[in-house]
Amino acid sequence: MNRRTLIAGLMTFPALSVVSRLSLGGAQTHEVAMKFTPLEVPHSYWRDKVSAQAYEVLFEEATEPAGSSPLDDVDEEGTFVCAACYLPMFDSESKFDSGTGWPSFTQPIEGHMATKQDFKMIWPRTEYHCARCGGHQGHVFNDGPPPRGERWCNNGLALRFVPIDETLPELRA
């Protein structure tokens, strides 16, 4: 090894150790903490901005058929954002396979989801929606894994997945 390669080796070593620390330190995540104010636009505003099927889920509270969403199988690192306004909804770290055929999460990104009770199935269920645009996302149940015991059962059509190596899209309105 000559002097030049020795120096190059010494210089790359710290960089490599930083990379390995990052990958050993747990999953990477997008910076999702962001300030936002709820939008005050009518639901019809989104009609030409999302697909017809996504509109039915987001703004008419339809439920997509179980097993129909390709997002159910996504297990890469990244962030799931609202398909309408792009507000981050879930970190991939909170995703788990519930076996239901819908993308399922143990918890949403704090402060980004709002809830209400609905009685569409006769018994009360907790509906949840994007805190920014009001777009319906899914229902939360109390049969999820520990420690929180929550299962946030989401329509894939109401989400868009952004892999960790892509920049989150700007919020839209």
Tell me which residues touch Zn ion (CB under 5 A).
Answer: 82, 84-85, 87, 130, 132-133, 135
Closest contact distance (angstroms) between CB of 130 and Zn ion is 3
The phi, psi pair for 119, rounded to 5°, reads: -125, 30
Contact call for residues 138 and 155 (beta carbons, < 8 A): yes
Considering beta carbons, is residue 130 or 153 the nearer one to Zn ion?
130
Tell me, yes or no, if 153 is annotated catalytic. Answer: yes
Considering beta carbons, is residue 101 or 107 the nearer one to Zn ion?
107
Considering beta carbons, is residue 132 or 139 the nearer one to Zn ion?
132
Closest contact distance (angstroms) between CB of 42 and Zn ion is 14
Contact call for residues 88 and 32 (beta carbons, < 8 A): yes
Instruction: Choose, from 82, 85, 130, 153, the residue flagged as catalytic.
Output: 153
Closest contact distance (angstroms) between CB of 119 and Zn ion is 24
Two structure tokens written together for 32: 């999702």
E strand segments, the chain: 78-82, 88-91, 95-96, 104-105, 113-121, 123-130, 136-141, 151-154, 159-163
Residues taking part in catalysis: 153
